[in-house]
């Protein structure tokens, strides 16, 4: 295929397959292929966590636990919810620059920051739960083993999450590198 | 509300008239029809979100390409599962998003999909007759670098399509 053929094939590709009403639907979040699911998950998770924050004091004897355990739990939960919301906004808006290179670079920096905060807050949230529920426990040998098992599972989950973020970050890093390469040099 | 309606109408008219741009970007950046369809929706959504800040200072096609290419590159794709090589693509796969495509068109897109994401962006704009200066403005790559890279991509494409 010669250059002119390439251009004409390119310029003839595609038709008017989407009607204006199809396109209108696509502007709505309820029809979005991924954001809709992420938003539902975010809302469900937030409702669950806020409810937990409201009832934990009565249901899980917050008054019998030390003050520090209550503060750590509430702080851990609130930071986790806040990070979830910030993450949603960051993912929903990939376009934020005057040109492609700037936009991808900004997005890369945002996702990297989000990955770090997500890992830290997920870890702190899990630790806050463990601290709260173990703060008044009298530890026996079996209970210590159980706690050790929980901590191992927690680290395993953190590792998986780290791997997912790393894959995402590496792919964006490659895009930034490709845009930065100057073939004149 | 009335203002919103007229803005929505104007937006839909533009996207309807220029939907070929979105189609081409989707076909270039995604392999399966399902992924192309998802990306199409994602791009229309992002265009709608950025429409209020589009002041009409640049060409509509420049604005659309910038948002469409940006979305296609940034949005996360799950790693592909390894697939067995099939010598001839089944006939039902040779369809675009909602219409039949020619064999030459399919060959072109098959070749384009082999390029990396930055190369895809550059050649897409070149094939749509953007000048080197316009391509440099949209991508953020210098004009001279754009020229060097495009020459390399054109050679690569010609070899792929021999």
The Cα of A7 is separated from the nearest Cα of chain B by a number of Å equal to 5
Output the DSSP codes for B104-137: HHHHHHHHHTTS-HHHHHHHHHHHTT--HHHHHH
B positions 71-100 inside 8 Å of A (CB): 71, 73-76, 79, 96-99
Task: State whether B157 and A107 contact (CB < 8 Å).
Answer: no
User: d(Cα A78, Cα A72) in Å, to the nearest integer?
Assistant: 10
pLDDT digits (tens, 9 = 90+) for A114-147: 999 999 999 999 999 999 999 888 888 888 998 9
* Residue of higher predicted confidence among B2 and B28: B28
Alpha carbon separation from B159 to B48, B103, B152 (Å, rounded): 38, 18, 11
| Spatial contact of A45 and A39, defined as CB atoms under 8 Å apart | no
Q: Which of B121, B126, B118 is nearest to B147 (CA)?
A: B126
pLDDT value, residue A67: 93
The Cα of A110 is separated from the nearest Cα of chain B by a number of Å equal to 12
pLDDT digits (tens, 9 = 90+) for A53-96: 889 888 888 888 899 999 999 999 999 999 989 988 888 888 88
User: Which regions of chain A does DSSP assign to beta strands (E)?
Assistant: none
Any A CB within 8 A of B50 CB:
yes
Tokens (6 digits) for B53: 């800040």
Q: Which of A173, A169, A182, A179 is nearest to A99 (CA)?
A: A179
Averaged over A90-107, what is the pLDDT?
89
Minimum CA–CA partner of A108 in chain B: B74
pLDDT value, residue B98: 55
pLDDT value, residue B1: 47
pTM of the model: 0.84
Tokens (6 digits) for B115: 């390029």
Residue B100: strand pairing partners: B95
* ipTM here: 0.82
Token pair 């490709």 is found at: A178
Q: Which of B60, B73, B77 is nearest to B18 (CA)?
A: B60
pLDDT value, residue B2: 52
pLDDT digits (tens, 9 = 90+) for A166-182: 999 999 999 999 998 87
Q: Which of chain A's residues have a Cβ under 8 Å away from the Cβ of B107?
A: 1
Task: Give the mean pLDDT of chain B.
Answer: 86
pLDDT value, residue B102: 79
Segment of B81-85, B134-138, B155-159 carrying the highest mean pLDDT: B134-138
pLDDT value, residue B85: 45
Task: State whether B44 and A13 contact (CB < 8 Å).
Answer: no
User: d(Cα A130, Cα A124) in Å, to the nearest integer?
Assistant: 10
């Amino acid at each position: 295929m010669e250059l002119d053929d390439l251009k004409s094939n390119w310029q003839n590709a595609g038709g008017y397959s989407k009607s204006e009403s199809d396109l209108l639907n696509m502007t709505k979040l309820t029809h979005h292929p991924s954001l809709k699911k992420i938003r539902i998950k975010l809302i469900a998770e937030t409702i669950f966590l806020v409810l937990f924050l409201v009832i934990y004091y009565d249901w899980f004897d917050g008054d019998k636990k030390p003050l520090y355990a209550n503060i750590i739990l509430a702080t851990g939960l609130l930071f986790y919810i806040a990070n979830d919301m910030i993450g949603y906004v960051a993912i929903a808006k990939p376009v934020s620059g005057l040109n492609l290179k700037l936009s991808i670079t900004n997005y890369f920096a945002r996702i990297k920051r989000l990955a770090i905060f997500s890992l830290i807050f997920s870890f702190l949230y899990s630790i806050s739960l463990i601290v709260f529920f173990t703060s008044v426990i009298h530890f026996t040998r079996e209970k210590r083993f159980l706690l050790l098992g929980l901590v191992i599972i927690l680290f395993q989950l953190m590792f998986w999450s780290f791997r997912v973020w790393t894959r995402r970050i590496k792919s964006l890093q490659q895009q930034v590198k490709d845009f930065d390469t100057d073939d004149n040099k | 509300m009335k203002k919103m309606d007229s803005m929505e109408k104007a937006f839909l008219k533009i996207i309807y008239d220029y939907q070929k741009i979105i189609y081409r970007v989707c076909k270039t950046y995604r392999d399966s029809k399902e992924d192309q369809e998802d990306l199409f929706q994602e791009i229309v959504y992002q265009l709608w979100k950025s429409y209020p800040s589009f002041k009409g200072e640049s060409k509509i096609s420049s604005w659309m390409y910038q948002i469409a290419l940006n979305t296609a590159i940034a949005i996360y794709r799950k790693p592909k599962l390894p697939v067995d090589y099939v010598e001839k693509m089944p006939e039902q796969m040779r369809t675009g998003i909602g219409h039949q495509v020619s064999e030459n068109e399919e060959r072109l897109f098959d070749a384009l999909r082999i390029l990396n994401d930055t190369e895809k962006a550059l050649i897409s704009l070149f094939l749509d007759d953007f000048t080197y200066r316009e391509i440099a403005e949209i991508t953020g790559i210098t004009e001279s670098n754009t020229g060097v890279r495009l020459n390399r991509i054109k050679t690569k494409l010609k070899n792929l399509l021999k």
